[in-house]
Amino acid sequence: MKEIGFIGLGIMGKPMARNLLKAGYRVTVFNRTRSKAEELRADGATVADSIAEAAKCPVIVTMLPNGPDVRKVVLGSETAESADRSADNVIDYAAPGTLVIDMSSISPVVSKEIGAELAKKGIRMLDAPVSGGEPKAISGELAIMVGGDEKDFEEAKPLFDVLGSSALLVGPLGSGNTCKLTNQIIVAVNIAALSEGMVLAKKMGTDPEKVFQAIKGGLAGSSVMNAKMPMILAQDFKPGFKIDLHIKDLNNAIEAAEANGSPTPLASLVREMMKELHEDGNGQCDHSGLALYYQKLTGTLIES
């Protein structure tokens, strides 16, 4: 598995592809904006002119914004019903036995649909979304949640070990994205609660920095708090994971929950906060920018 086609070089995809190159993999990269692919040429990547060219590799990794994007790249159309099918895709050019590893965060329903179509051509698939944002993508310490066949997972494990600090097979195809949607609900609610509590501290005249230091080792402490509180204190919302992308994930989570009769009152509330931030022009901010929602409500900055 030393030859990989990597499709999608955004905030997450580019550092992930770079880490594979550093680990000695032969990586052929493709991105709609070619300049992003060209940036990796100096790292040793081969730049493909088309999806079809990248699809000729025995292993294909996709890292794309949402389900319609993955479906279009892999199957040639954004929806199952679409008659407008692109000739530049994975399914028509990948050889039987190829392993497609979709590391995008999409609906598990879409993962299963894509996997079923690939299986008709003898092409295998894992859904393997990640958590950790840009910093962990750069450091190679992502948490990777995988759905699919156990033999395919074991084959892909050395690749996952380059990209992440943990990789766990959660269940059959679609389980990886089910796990990721669960993760995204928990992260979103954590950031909202952190912002809400710290605004209270500030308005009551207590230094949020000292509150953070006092509570981070206790039950309220979390990886979310440790990663996001310094950004909030610095009022630095440069995106590691954008609010708009988190809205997409919560949309997928809530849609899946509704289809399965699972309640999502907290996720739905935080999604509305994020939608308001989007309307205010903050959709490209990091999701720690949920603090901006509370700061707007109160006119109070969360800072020392």
Q: Active-site positions?
A: 180
d(CA 129, CA 105): 5
Query: Containing H/E element for 136?
Result: helix 133-139
**Residue of 173, 87, 59 whose CA lies nearest to 127:** 173
d(CA 14, CA 85): 27
Q: Which long-range contacts (CB under 8 A, 24 or more apart) does 221-229 make?
A: 222/190, 224/187, 224/190, 224/191, 224/194, 225/190, 225/194, 227/133, 227/135, 227/288, 228/191, 228/194, 228/286, 228/287, 228/288, 229/194, 229/198
Can you read off the two tokens belonging to residue 19? 């880490």
d(CA 45, CA 6): 10
- Is 94 within 8 Å of 123 (Cβ atoms)? yes
Local structure of residue 286 (DSSP, 8 states): B
Side-chain half-sphere exposure of 155, counting CA atoms within 13 A: 19
- Is 34 within 8 Å of 47 (Cβ atoms)? yes
d(CA 122, CA 263): 38
**3-class DSSP state for residue 180?**
helix
